[in-house]
């Protein structure tokens, strides 16, 4: 039988934890992992801008397929929807805009 040692790690009193929260423009479920492009798109929509997939292509220098995958992901999770005709429509947020800060 050997001896047992218990080690307990506690933060230093002067250490403050960094605030790693991201300012998301709407209530996104915690376990939903959004990339930087998707967060940018949601933020732009929250500011009242009318965007389509070419906005992602231009801003982030990505392919049309990648932009459409990003937007499809947001649609599948109920964060945005497409309003209007295929040529002139734009995306809108699906959340209540009163809780956006």
Give the pTM.
Answer: 0.64
The full DSSP string for 54-85 is: HHHHHHHT--HHHHHHHHHHHHHTTSEEEES-
- In a domain, residue 100? The reply is no
**Count of the separate structural domains present in the chain:** 1
Question: pLDDT tens across 79-93, in order?
Answer: 999 999 999 999 999
Q: What is the CATH number of the domain that holds 85?
A: 1.10.10.10
Q: Quick check: is 17 in a domain?
A: no
Task: Report yes or no: 82 and 90 within 8 Å, Cβ to Cβ.
Answer: yes
pLDDT in tens, 14-62: 765 555 555 555 555 556 789 999 999 999 999 999 999 999 999 999 9
Residues ≥6 apart with Cβ < 8 Å to 48: none
Q: Is position 87 within any domain?
A: yes
């Amino acid at each position: 039988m050997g001896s047992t040692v218990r080690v307990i790690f506690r933060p230093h009193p002067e250490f403050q934890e960094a605030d790693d929260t991201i300012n998301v423009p709407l209530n996104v479920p915690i376990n939903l992992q959004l990339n930087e492009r998707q967060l940018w798109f949601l933020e732009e929509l929250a500011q009242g801008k009318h965007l389509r997939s070419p906005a992602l292509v231009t801003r982030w220098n990505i392919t049309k397929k990648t932009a459409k995958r990003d937007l499809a992901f947001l649609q599948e999770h109920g964060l945005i929807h497409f309003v209007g005709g295929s040529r002139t429509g734009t995306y809108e947020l699906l959340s209540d805009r009163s809780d956006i800060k």
